[in-house]
Amino acid sequence: MGVTAAGPGPALPQPRGPLTRGLLTLLTTAPGPGATLPSGAAAAADPWGEDHQLALYLCYELHYRGFAGVDAAWEWHPAVLALRRSLEDTFLDALRIGTAPPAPLAEQLRLLLVEPADGDGPSYFLLREGERWQAREYLVLRSLYHLKEADPQSWIIPRLHGAAQAALVAVQYDEYGAGHPERTHSRLFAEMMEDLGLDGSYGGYLDVAPAPALAVVNLMSLFALHRAHRGALVGQFAGVEITSSPGSARLAAALERLGAGPAGTRFYQEHIEADAVHEQIVRHGVIDALLADEPDLEEDIAFGLAASLLLEDRLARHALTRWEQSDTALLAPLRAAA
pLDDT in tens, 300-325: 999 999 999 999 999 999 999 999 99
Question: Residues with Cβ < 8 Å from 98, sequence gap 6 or more?
Answer: 307, 310
CB neighbour list of residue 211: distance below 8 Å, 6 or more residues apart: 48, 49, 50, 52, 53, 54
- Tens-place pLDDT, residues 236-262: 999 998 888 889 999 999 999 999 999
**Mind listing the pLDDT tens digit for each residue in 168-224?**
999 999 999 999 999 999 999 999 999 999 999 999 999 999 999 999 999 999 999
- Render pLDDT for 33-56 as a digit per residue (tens, 0 to 9): 888 887 677 878 899 999 999 999
Angstrom distance (rounded) from CA 203 to CA 56:
15
Residue 112 has pLDDT above 90, yes or no: no
Per-residue confidence (pLDDT) for residue 69, from 0 to 100: 94
| Cβ contact 260:132 at 8 Å | no
Q: What is the mean pLDDT of residues 322-330?
A: 97
The whole-number pLDDT of residue 336 equals 61
Burial code of 302-331, b = ≥16 C-beta within 10 A, e = fewer?
bbbbbbbbbbbebbbebbbebbeeeebbbe
State the pLDDT at residue 325: 96
Q: Cα-Cα-Cα-Cα dihedral of 122, 123, 129, 131, to 10°?
A: 80
Of 126, 268, 257, 136, which Cα lies nearest the Cα of 195? Answer: 136
pLDDT of amino acid 3: 44
To the nearest whole percent, how much of the chain has pLDDT over 90? 84
pLDDT of amino acid 43: 79
Q: What average pLDDT does range 105-134 have in this prediction?
A: 90
Distance CA(74)–CA(138), nearest Å, equals 32
Find the mean pLDDT for residues 279-299: 94
- Inform me whether the pLDDT recorded for 5 exceeds 70: no
Q: What is the pLDDT of residue 35?
A: 83
How far apart are alpha carbons 293 and 91 in whole angstroms? 29
Contacts 24+ apart (CB under 8 A), 29-35: 30/1, 30/2, 30/3, 30/71, 31/1, 31/71, 31/73, 31/74, 31/77, 32/1, 35/77, 35/79
Please count the other Cβ atoms lying within 10 Å of the Cβ belonging to residue 40.
10
- Mean model confidence pLDDT for the chain: 93
Q: Which residues contact 54 (CB under 8 A, 6 or more apart)?
A: 13, 15, 16, 19, 20, 211, 214
Instruction: Give me the pLDDT at residue 79, please.
Output: 93
- Whole-number percent of the chain with pLDDT over 70: 96
pLDDT band (50, 70, 90) for residue 7: low
Backbone CA torsion sign across 315, 67, 230, 144: positive
Res. 147: pLDDT tops 80: yes
